Structures are given as structure tokens and as C-alpha cells.
């Protein structure tokens, strides 16, 4: 008999697990929505600088963790097994296009959207334009019909990069609140297997959802826990 994972944090309908999502996902009960921001491929993170106003002169180089497309393919197949419907994910554009051509087992690509950044990170090499946008992959279980709360709206956003959140690639909280609202109903369970600073969990809590977060880095678990303990009222979506 497989035992349940031990929570790192559990309060007010929010649960955080510290560990490798590949080990924890098979132990979870079904969730209503997966909303996540995975590590990107090495090509995307190569030669970028910080866009923080607190960076040193010339901006500082940031070191990111990266994964392969095949790593993500296996993980997203597990996400397709645990979600009841949607897997919504910011994603390396090359991976998103590959998933459109050949989706992970159990999923189908419904749409590729974009997040256009108003303050993107500059290109350190200065030999090509910087990457000023990210793909948003809208995937759904292949064995179920899809529906959402967005009506005829698009899946695109134009917003600045979040700063000062304790994570180098934190996503805009307003974007994640809107995604929670469009792809789940009040009281639903939202899962983020690459939790980072906890933006998806904070958005879920603000929008009246429950949430589960997983991160392999304990520092991020601590950052997310502190963020979730703050009393923040949503500004609307």
C-alpha cells in the first residue's frame, strides 16, 4: 500500500509538498486544474540578464535550472492522469510547438497563447533580439470534452514580469488569477507541480479555490509558505 506524502505546509485549503513532483504526483487524488510554470530548456535560459532594478551595473547574469523536453513530456503525461480536465502552463515556445505536434500521453493541445512582456530580460550576448514573450500551452485531457469560463476571449496577455518575489522567473499574479477564474470554478482544487514562489497557489487562494503546490527546492517552499500566510485581497481580474 502506497503511503500519502507528508505536507510541508497545510492550512486554509492550501497544501505544499517539498520534493520531486515525479515522485509525488502518483500519490495525489485527482485535481480540477493544473496551472504551472515549469523549468525551461537550456536554450531559453542561455545568456540572459536580470531585469531587476536592484541588479548590479550592466545587470547580473542569472543561473536557471533547465530540463529537457523529454523530461517534461513524461511529467506532463502524469499531469494528464491527475487532472480532471485542463493543464494550463507557461512554457518554452519550442516545447509548446513540439507538444502541439506530438502531445504527451493522455493530453491534447487546445491552443497556444502568448504572454508578451512589457519589461523582458535583455539578451546578454547582444547578437540577437531578446526573448520578449513566452508561450502559454492550453492542454486538456484527451479522453474528455473541454469547457471553460472564458467565452470567446483569447488566451493572450500583455503584462510586466513580476519582481521581488523571491524567484527569478515569477509570473504576474494578475495573469494567474485570471487563468484560475477562466479554467476552474469556486472551490476547485488547483495543482502546481513546479510551484516556485507560489504565484499559482496565491492566485488560487485569492479566487476562492483550494490548491496543492510541489517544489524540489526547499527555499521556494519557504517563500511560498510565507506568501500564503499574508492576507491579500484580490484586485479583480
Report pLDDT digits (tens) over 39-69: 876 554 444 444 444 444 344 333 345 678 8
CB of 17 within 8 A of CB of 24? yes
Biggest CA pair distance of the chain: 56
**Cell numbers standing for residue 123:** 539578451
Q: For residue 173, what pLDDT is reported?
A: 95
Q: For residue 123, what pLDDT is reported?
A: 82
Q: Distance between CA 203 and CA 36 in Å, rounded?
A: 12
What are the tens digits of pLDDT across the range 186-234? 999 999 999 999 999 999 999 999 999 999 999 999 999 999 988 655 4
Mean of pLDDT over the chain: 86
Query: pTM for the whole thing?
Result: 0.85
Q: For residue 53, what pLDDT is reported?
A: 41
3-state SS assignment for residue 138: strand
Q: For residue 91, what pLDDT is reported?
A: 92
Q: For residue 6, what pLDDT is reported?
A: 94
Give the C-alpha distances (Å, rounded to integers) separating 28 from 35, 81, 143, 191, 208.
15, 10, 20, 10, 21
pLDDT tops 80 at residue 32 = yes
Distance of CA 33 to the CA centre of its chain: 12
Average pLDDT in the 112-131 region?
A: 90
Q: Distance between CA 189 and CA 28 in Å, rounded?
A: 12
User: Which one has a higher pLDDT value, 176 or 3?
Assistant: 176
3-state SS assignment for residue 155: coil
Average pLDDT in the 80-96 region?
A: 96
Q: Distance between CA 64 and CA 124 in Å, rounded?
A: 14
Nearest to 76 by CA among 155, 136, 22: 22
Average pLDDT in the 80-104 region?
A: 96
Helices in 38-168 by DSSP H: which ranges?
Answer: 42-45, 69-82, 93-101
User: Which one has a higher pLDDT value, 55 or 117?
Assistant: 117
- 3.40.50.920, 3.40.1780.10, 3.40.50.150, 3.30.450.20: which CATH number matches 31-187? 3.40.50.150
User: Which one has a higher pLDDT value, 44 or 108?
Assistant: 108
CB of 62 within 8 A of CB of 49? yes
User: Which one has a higher pLDDT value, 68 or 136?
Assistant: 136
What are the sequence ranges of the domains in the chain?
31-187
Q: For residue 201, what pLDDT is reported?
A: 97
Q: Is 52 exposed, middle or buried (0-12, 13-18, 19+ CB in 10 A)?
A: middle
Amino acid at each position: 500500500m502506497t503511503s500519502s506524502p507528508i505536507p510541508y505546509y497545510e492550512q486554509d485549503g492550501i497544501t505544499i509538498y517539498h520534493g520531486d513532483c515525479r515522485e509525488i504526483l502518483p500519490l495525489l487524488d485527482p485535481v480540477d486544474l493544473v496551472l504551472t510554470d515549469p523549468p525551461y530548456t537550456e536554450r531559453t535560459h542561455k545568456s540572459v540578464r536580470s531585469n531587476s532594478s536592484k541588479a548590479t551595473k550592466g545587470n547580473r547574469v542569472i543561473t536557471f535550472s533547465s530540463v529537457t523536453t523529454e523530461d517534461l513530456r513524461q511529467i506532463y503525461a502524469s499531469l494528464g492522469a491527475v487532472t480532471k480536465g485542463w493543464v494550463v502552463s507557461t512554457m518554452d515556445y519550442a516545447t509548446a510547438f513540439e507538444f502541439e505536434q506530438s502531445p504527451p500521453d493522455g493530453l491534447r493541445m487546445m491552443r497556444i497563447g502568448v504572454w508578451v512582456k512589457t519589461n523582458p530580460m535583455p539578451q546578454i550576448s547582444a547578437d540577437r533580439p531578446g526573448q520578449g514573450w513566452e508561450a502559454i500551452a492550453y492542454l486538456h485531457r484527451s479522453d474528455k470534452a473541454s469547457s471553460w469560463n472564458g467565452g470567446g476571449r483569447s488566451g493572450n496577455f500583455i503584462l510586466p514580469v513580476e519582481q521581488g518575489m523571491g524567484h527569478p522567473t515569477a509570473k504576474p499574479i494578475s495573469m494567474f488569477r485570471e487563468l484560475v477564474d477562466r479554467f476552474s470554478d469556486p472551490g476547485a482544487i488547483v495543482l502546481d507541480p513546479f510551484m516556485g514562489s507560489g504565484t499559482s497557489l496565491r492566485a488560487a487562494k485569492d479566487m476562492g479555490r483550494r490548491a496543492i503546490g510541489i517544489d524540489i527546492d526547499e527555499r521556494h517552499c519557504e517563500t511560498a509558505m510565507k506568501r500564503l500566510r499574508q492576507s491579500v485581497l484580490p484586485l479583480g481580474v
